[in-house]
A and B are shown apart, each in its own frame.
Chain A
Amino acid sequence: MPLLTIATFLPILAGLALMALPDRSTKKAHTVSIAATGAVFLITLGIWARGIVAGDFAQVEEIAWIPAIGAAYRLGVDGLSLPLVLLTSLLFLLSALYSARIGERAASYVVLMLMLETASLGTFMALDGLLFYVFFEVSLVGMYFMIAGWGYEERQRAALMFFLYTLVGSLPLLLAIIGLYLGSGTFDMRVWVEGTTLGGLPAMLALIAMLVTFAVKIPAFPVHTWLPAAHVQAPTAGSVILAGVMLKFGTYGLVRFAYQMTPEAFAQAGQVILAFGVVSALYGAFAALAQSDLKKMIAYTSVNHMGYVVMGVAIAALATEPRIRTIALDGATLQMVSHGLVTGALFFLVGMLQDRAHTRGIGDFGGLLGRVPWLGWAFILSAFASLGLPGLAHFPAEFQIFLATLNGMPWGLIAILAIVVTAALYLRAIAGVFLGEMNDKWADMPDLDRREKLVVLPLLVLTVLIGVAPGWLIDMIHTTMTGLGN
């Protein structure tokens, strides 16, 4: 059974079916949404159960598409993409559950979400350059409408900025893909990842083009400025998908394309890339510290966390010892998953807070922990996970990245100062919103209901599980990264 194909296209087909239905009521739309994303989640579990292989892509599904130019429909997974596929299907399912409350043009909303899921899964599983680019671009459109249609007060501006930023940002990738095609005569990414397609100046030019695209998507300083605006204005599920899934396009591309396809050029530019990672990590942390809007603050911490991923990949290219390279890549990949879970939870929780209070300003709250203990403790746990507390998901990832950095390129470790800054900003947010004297304005704020708990709890459980015993996930990543590090 072509599980990869089914998982990829089931959402959009469900969306099309919904459009064809005569009755597109809110209830029906959300039923379709939850059923489809739930089914996709189960299918991706099936893909997981089938497993991956060391040193190659597993479960490859291939159909001739445009043979004349060597483009084919090719999907496959390895230890880099499969964790992200699982993360994607989980976050879309939880987003569908969370969004079940949306009544405004529900059918259109659901179709967009399902289209986004197809695009996201396709991006991670595509093994054909052209196919990858198509999925990559379609996701952009979906998110544009998501923000413009269901966002908050200044959604038009934010949506537009997001769209133009990432659209312009993704054109260089197209050039790089064409370059790789010209160098190899095929769009087969399995050929490209051998890393011998391009060399010398063409490889460096292709790398620069890819780095531009992925730096916008990751996002890295200084092209990160679309992110806070887009996050603040996006609807909650949009923020979760944007941070949890779509930012990973950038880091996934950084490894799959930049690191794997132009390895020598990547190593030559390694110091520069590392510098961008370090600056992003520190800049994101400090910029987050200055925010008084909860959502914006969390958005900036994404810049910080993704900066660590960039650092890890750069170290993998710079380090001489295979052991260190593997540790760096293990950490970078785990960090992608951890960030998706933890930041996903944080955006959900802020969304729930905003649903209740219609404000996101840290100064507008106070003492809520006594009033809404579920919401408060879930936020505290997620916040401490985000600031890298051991026993929670970010610690093993960041530990590996920093360990590799010290033993690969020690100057990069100045970025570790950011863990104190993130601690400060989260503690400030917790103290401002949940501790201290209760603000009477929120005296009858309700705590999380069953549906909301159902959305947040899986993320918290996985956060703890990865923090305490990451073996079930890291072993799969390690299988592939051992090959990539050598």
Chain B
Amino acid sequence: MIWLALTILAPLGAGLTALALRRAPEAIALIGAALGLAGAIALFAGVAGGTDITASLPFLPDLPIRLVASPLTATLALVVATVAAMVLTYAAGYMAQDPERPRFFGTMLMFVAAMQLLVLSGDWITLLAAWEMIGFASYLLIGFWHGRNGVPGAAMRAFLYTRTADLGLYLAAFLLIGIAGTSEISATLATTGTPALIAGLLLLFAAMGKSAQVPMQDWLMRAMAGPTPVSALLHSATLVAAGAILLIRTAPMLPGGALLAIGIVGGATAVIAGLMALAATDLKRLLAASTASQYGLMLIAVGAGVPIAALLHLIAHAAIKSALFLGAGVFQHDRESTDLDTLAGAGRTRPGIFAGFAVAALALAGLPPLAAFYSKDAILAAALDSPSAAWLLPLALAGSVLTGAYMGRALKVLWSGTPEKPHDPVPLMAVGMGVLVALAATLGLVFKPLEAMLGAHLAEPGWIVPAMGLAVGLAGLALGWLLAPARLLGPLLAPARDGFPIAGGLDALVVRPALALARLCDRLDSWIIRRVVLGGIVTGAQALSHRIERAEYWLLALVNAVGRLNLSLGQISLRTDRDTIDRAIFGLVDRTVALGTRARRLQSGLIHREMAMTVAGIALVTGVLLAAPLFF
């Protein structure tokens, strides 16, 4: 319980403190991240023994908040906390010159807290809540430099794409809670049959939005408008990972039809986003497209029925991709651009950073003994063993070749230009990145014990899978290093650069029709007001004006009624101070008349003051009438 709280609340508390104090945000952030990491380590150690750690807090009637640290969720929490701590260390250097640092670190920490809540959630409401909160936090982070051109649009797009996809999670959660009668995730995973299929497809839709799967990959490319540490965090273990995490956690429930759909989406994204990465002209966009592609590979593993392979690749990718982004951030720091042409030779200027970048790049390409070598082999083995091997395996292999190719190209560009004179040293940035590079290199060693802890047994692949994996990785690297993208892609280059817009993309398919519908509603409203309401007002006003002559009579009758009613109330009336009541009533009427006179001055002549005055008079007199027996 206390470790659960520490893991989530330490970053949250630190974030709020940084925002409130507005000073020393780096120190606060590092303390918060360190405490969160300590909590995650304790959780991991705690569940390694075999018992889950759970907590329950009241929220809605019969729908409490549940947190659960199981071997799976505690592992994910540890990954999140580790990457977050390193990225924040790096950011302390990267953001040193920014005047808005408290806001940056505050939002980053809140983002981490929301992500930990998502990872450790034990019920659908908490999962959904955290799921949307990381969307909000990423909106704030992508839009961090909100005064810059194009930034608000990028932030808006990220939030809207993911929120649209979130509808899938909403619907799936309602469906599963309704069937199971409880919101506890583990209990709802027993759902079978058609509901499980529908829920599975809805969850896939939600995951496609967050993990930027085809055709919802566009927002991720534009999200590069945010500071680089943001990209490093979002792309590795957090925002984009949420989609894959969702599918990994719900995998026990997913029936064959849903798995098939997941495999198709993952395979398509692995290839299409891989092509986009190869065609990219900007290093950050290259890495962003690569992220979508790698999550496509993970979805292939889930679709093949081996979610543990997806989890291993998620862990490896988390370390690798954050390291790559942090490296890109250093080069960006030097050249003030991430355009590949401008970055030519940036690696030679900083050989240390370049070495780290290269290790991570080779790890992603799947060279042994680096981390992704093992996880990619697990994915290839899963695809090979799956009933859909005939098309899952080629897609997985194509995705792997492309991985090698775009990393090879990035390395070539960074290495082959002319070096400039070195800039100031970047110790904090180097520390954050260095740890992640070390993890990217060595994480493969812990995969075996981790499998045991998770109670999963991956089939020991023969020689064929590693050989295949190594061959495609090396082939890809060679192609990317030796051949320009234009030669490799040919006619695919232009559409790949544009992100393969289908039928004008989502803008044409969704946004424009929605805006047209909005305008239609607006016009309908104006029409109702003009024709129906104003027409009615004129008629009504004319009808009412005939009664104005009788207005005085009405008022008199009412005042008389006051008197009669007071009499009927007997003993209460006896105590009435007649003067007081009279004064009050006449005061009120006078007051009302005064108000009415003012109102008349404002009236355009459409209606006579008497009507308004009369009604006001009636109402006020009645009000006093009601109160009178009680107070006088």
Contacts and interface: CB of A to CB of B under 8 A. Distances in A.
A138 B622 contact: yes
A375 to B, nearest CB: 15
A369 B139 CA distance: 15
Contact of A390 (B62, B128, B598): B128
Contacts of A149: 595, 598-599, 602
Interface stretch (A178-186, A246-254, A262-270, A391-399): A391-399
Given A20-B587, A65-B629, A413-B171, 16 more contacts: A12-B627, A105-B598, A108-B598, A138-B622, A157-B606, A163-B612, A165-B533, A225-B533, A286-B514, A286-B518, A290-B522, A367-B147, A405-B174, A427-B159, A435-B151, A474-B60
Contacts of B174: 402-403, 405-407, 413
A161 B520 CA distance: 23
Interface in A146-183: 148-149, 155-157, 160-161, 163-165, 167-168
A361 interface: no
A226 B533 contact: yes
B61 A474 contact: yes
Given A164-B537, A287-B518, A406-B178, A225 B528 contact: yes
Given A16-B587, A111-B591, A420 B167 contact: yes
A323 B183 CA distance: 14
B9 to A, nearest CB: 12
Given A287-B518, A402-B174, A396 B59 contact: yes
A118 interface: yes
B620 A390 contact: no
B517 A156 contact: no
A434 B151 CA distance: 12
Interface residues of B, number: 82
Given A118-B623, A420-B167, A471-B59, A161 B616 contact: no
B284 to A, nearest CB: 21
Contacts of B153: 431
A365 interface: no
Nearest to A134: B622
Q: List 10 tightest A-B contacts by C-beta distance, closest first.
A: A390-B129, A290-B522, A289-B518, A407-B178, A406-B174, A435-B152, A290-B518, A431-B152, A287-B521, A435-B146
**Which of A13, A160, A395, A475 has the most B CB atoms < 10 Å from its CB?**
A160
A478 interface: yes
Contacts of A155: 602
A431 B150 CA distance: 11
Interface in A270-292: 283, 286-291
Interface in B607-632: 607, 612, 615-616, 619-620, 622-623, 626-627, 629-631
Nearest to A425: B518
A407 B616 CA distance: 47
**Which of B139, B568, B627 has the most A CB atoms < 10 Å from its CB?**
B627
A406 B171 contact: yes
A228 B525 CA distance: 10
Given A9-B627, A137-B619, A228-B525, A168 B59 contact: no
Contacts of A201: none
A228 to B, nearest CB: 7
A9 B630 contact: yes
B537 A138 contact: no
A161 B537 CA distance: 7
B584 interface: yes
24 contacts: A66-B565, A108-B598, A118-B623, A119-B623, A140-B619, A141-B615, A141-B620, A145-B612, A145-B616, A225-B532, A290-B519, A290-B522, A389-B132, A391-B133, A396-B59, A403-B177, A406-B174, A413-B174, A420-B160, A420-B163, A427-B159, A428-B156, A431-B153, A469-B59
B438 interface: no
B352 interface: no
B517 to A, nearest CB: 5
A167 B615 contact: yes
Contacts of B130: 390
Given A290-B519, A402-B170, A436-B152, A63 B175 contact: no
A423 B125 contact: no
B587 A63 contact: no
A301 interface: no
A370 interface: yes
A115 interface: yes
B59 A470 contact: yes
Nearest to A64: B569
Interface in B53-69: 58-62
Interface in B136-183: 136, 139, 143, 146-147, 149, 151-153, 155-156, 159-160, 163-164, 167, 170-171, 173-175, 177-178, 181
A436 B143 CA distance: 10
B136 A141 contact: no
B515 interface: yes
B622 to A, nearest CB: 5
Which secondary structure dominates chain B's binding surface?
helix
A447 to B, nearest CB: 15
A424 B591 contact: no
A374 to B, nearest CB: 13
B521 A370 contact: no
A435 B150 CA distance: 10
Interface string A215-237: 00000001001101100000000
B540 interface: yes
Contacts of B132: 389-390, 395
A32 to B, nearest CB: 15
B536 interface: yes
Nearest to A130: B626
Given A289-B514, A290-B518, A148 B602 contact: yes
B125 to A, nearest CB: 7
A424 B171 contact: no
A371 B152 CA distance: 16
Contacts of B125: 399
A153 to B, nearest CB: 11
B170 A161 contact: no
**Which of A12, A64, A286, A434 has the most B CB atoms < 10 Å from its CB?**
A286
Nearest to B622: A134
B192 interface: no
B604 interface: yes
B416 interface: no
Given A287-B525, A290-B521, A416 B171 contact: yes
Given A137-B619, A155-B602, A156-B602, A423 B146 contact: no
A156 B600 CA distance: 10
A435 B595 contact: no
Given A9-B631, A63-B629, A286-B518, A138 B619 contact: yes
B521 A283 contact: yes
A99 to B, nearest CB: 17
A149 B591 CA distance: 14
A19 interface: yes
A421 B516 CA distance: 13
B177 to A, nearest CB: 6
